[in-house]
Amino acid sequence: MTIKVGIPGSLLYYLYYPMWRTFFNELGVQVVTSGKTTKNILDQGTREALADACVPIKLFYGHVMDIKEQVDYLYIPRVVCLNGKTVYCPKFLGLPDMIRYSIENVPPIIDVRMDTRQGRFALVKAYLAIGKILGAPKSLVLRAYVKAVGILYRYNRLLRKGWSPVAAMNFLDNQVGGTDFDGPLKPSLKFAVLGYPYAIYDSFISVNLIDKLMKYGVKVITAENIHPTLLALQKNCNLPKRLFWTLSDRALKAAHYLFNQNKIDGVLHLTAFGCGPDSLLNRLIEMEAKKHSNIPFMTLMIDEQTGDAGMTTRLEAFVDMVRRRKEVH
């Protein structure tokens, strides 16, 4: 019987799902994912998670609840560091334990530690450990890993061409179609949308932020669309040392790069209620925004109660203001 591994459709799903799925499929393992967030998934997550958890973690709980009965294993790696420098937010480090000890009847969790500070071959070893849990021979695991890395490379190239994760995943699946962030209208404005991938690309929790902007004729650019070398050139963003947390560091670097390029008409920062790192990150982005007062900036906070009407009103007002400013100047 084919082994089934569940990958919750949240958190690092938006950055690594094509790689992870390829790896498991190459081992002959069937991947089950929870897909798009729904109200039911969010409600389940809110019920199961600790009350003071951030919204994305609550959402992750909901995605786990959605698939836990259908799979033999859940894949929740303990992702610590993937670039040898910065670490993921502490919630990522404790994620497998949080799920294991707070949700009843969860299947065994594949929770290998991924920390590239432990040596050049740390990731290969982590994937070999996954293969061992699934009983796959070493040679097959190595072949699957190489193929998975190749898919990740192609996925990231599509994102850098300006594609959204959903469009890039569709393209990798079907080799046809695909769209970038351009909407039905020819874009007349260009906005940077900053924030964590699992907030901005989740159409439910972001209340369709990106689709709405495209509908208003706004071209969207996110940190994932920028080449990592350009982000690395931002060094520590005028801080004595870089931010510790990988995704916060990336968002701050993207903010610095995009503000200083001066080729965007507006910047939105989508921040999640209950996020510790964001209390610092949002302040740092605001400080950078103040140095570029010619580029309008707005912070949008999401929580499990965020409603469509409130988000639409704020966005429409912001887009109108930016458009009028642009016409005047």
Q: Which residues are near ligand SF4 by CB under 6 A?
A: 54, 56-57, 89, 91, 196, 247, 272, 275-278
Measured CA angle at 61 (ends 55, 65), to 5 deg: 145
DSSP-derived secondary structure letter, 293:
T
For residues 45 and 131, which CB has a smaller minimum distance to ligand SF4 in the complex? 45
**Residue 293: alpha-carbon gap to chain centroid:** 28
Q: Supply the minimum distance, in Å, between the C-beta of residue 180 and ligand SF4.
A: 26
If you write DSSP's letter for every residue of 13-63 in order, what string do you get?
HHHHHHHHHHHHHHTTPEEEE--S--HHHHHHHHHHS-TTS-HHHHHHHHH
Q: How far apart are the first and last CA of the chain?
A: 66
Q: Cβ of residue 268: shortest distance to ligand SF4, in angstroms?
A: 16
Helices 39-48 and 55-67: crossing angle in degrees, nearest 10, is 110
In the complex, the smallest distance separating the C-beta of residue 181 from ligand SF4, rounded to whole angstroms, is: 22
Provide, rounded to whole angstroms, the least separation between the CB of residue 90 and ligand SF4: 7
Q: Which CB, 54 or 167, lies closer to ligand SF4?
A: 54
CB 60 → ligand SF4: shortest distance, Å? 8
Spatial contact of 238 and 246, defined as CB atoms under 8 Å apart: no
Rounded Cα gap, residues 228 and 207, in angstroms: 28
**Which neighbouring-strand residues pair with 32?**
6
CB nearer to ligand SF4: give 79 or 144.
79
User: At closest approach, how far in Å is the CB of 255 from ligand SF4?
Assistant: 16
CB nearer to ligand SF4: pick between 195 and 296:
195
Nearer to ligand SF4, 225 or 246 (CB): 246
Which residue's CB is nearer to ligand SF4, number 95 or number 126?
Answer: 95
